Amino acid sequence: MPELVLWDIDHTLMATRGLGRELWAQAFHKATGVELREQASVTGSTERVILRETARLHDLSYSDELFEPFASALGAVHVQRAADLREHGHALPGAAAVLARLANQGVRQTVVTGNVRAAAEVKLAVFGLDAYLLLEDGAYAEDGEERTELLRAALNRSTVRPEDAVFLGDTPADVEGGLDVGVRTVAVATGCTSAAQLRGFGADAVLESLEDTDAVLAAIA
C-alpha cells in the first residue's frame, strides 16, 4: 500500500445533487452584491478559477480581494445549511468502506480539492467521512488554482514523495494533475467523465465506482 492516499471530494467521495450550486450562488451574492445569473464550468476547477470566470460573466473585476470574502461566505453558508446538505446529498456508494479499510491498514489519507477548506470540512463531516482523513495535511482552493499546485501542497504538508502517494479523482484535471506531479492516479468514473475517457487521459487505473472495496484497494496498492 502507498504511504499516502489523496482524495478528491466532489463526485469522488460524495455528491450534493444540485445543492452545491445553490450554496455557491448565496456566497457569490454575499461577496459581490450581485445575483448569480450564470456560473462558469465547475468540473475539475478550483473555486478561485470558478469565481474569476463567473465574475467575468457578470462584468465584475476579479482579485484576491474578492476571493477572500467569497471564500469566507462560502464556508459560512455550508455551516449554516449543513442539515440541507445531509438531506439532499450523499456519500457515494463504497466511499466510507474504502476510507475505513485504508485507515484500518494504517494508510494516511487526506484530500486534494478545489473547495475552500471550510466548505470541504462541512461536506466531509455531514457524511461521516472526516474521521478517516488528516484534513490539516490536505490542499484546498486557498492553496492555488490548479490541481498540480494543490497536489504539491498536500505532498509537502504530508512530507511524502510523489512516488509514495496515490491520488483518486473523477475528472481529466485530476488525472492530468497527477501525471504532472508524478503520483499514481486512480480515476473513478462517478462524475461527468466516462471510464473510457479517463483511460484516454492516461490514468494509471480506472474504476467505475468505489462500490467494490477489494477492487478499489487493489487499484490503490
pLDDT digits (tens, 9 = 90+) for 170-200: 999 999 999 999 999 999 999 999 999 999 9
Ranking 58-62, 125-129, 184-188 by mean pLDDT, the lowest is: 58-62
The reported pTM is: 0.95
Please tell me the predicted confidence (pLDDT) of residue 201.
97
What is the per-residue pLDDT for 43?
86
Co-location of 54 and 94 in the same domain: no
Q: How far apart are CA 151 and CA 146, in angstroms?
A: 9
Q: What range does the domain containing 80 cover?
A: 19-86
Query: How far apart are alpha carbons 212 and 221 in whole angstroms?
Result: 14
The amino acid that residue 101 corresponds to is: R
Q: What gap in Å lies between CA 106 and CA 123, rounded to an integer?
A: 24
For residues 25-32, average pLDDT: 96
Judgement on whether residues 11 and 24 belong to the same structural domain of the protein: no
How long, in residues, is the chain? Answer: 221
Strand segments, DSSP code E, in the chain are 4-7, 14-15, 90-91, 108-111, 165-169, 184-188, 205-207
Burial status of residue 112 (CB atoms within 10 A of its CB: 0-12, 13-18, 19 or more): buried
Give me the number of domains the chain comprises: 2
Asked if 10 and 28 sit in the same domain, the reply is: no
64, 99: one domain = no
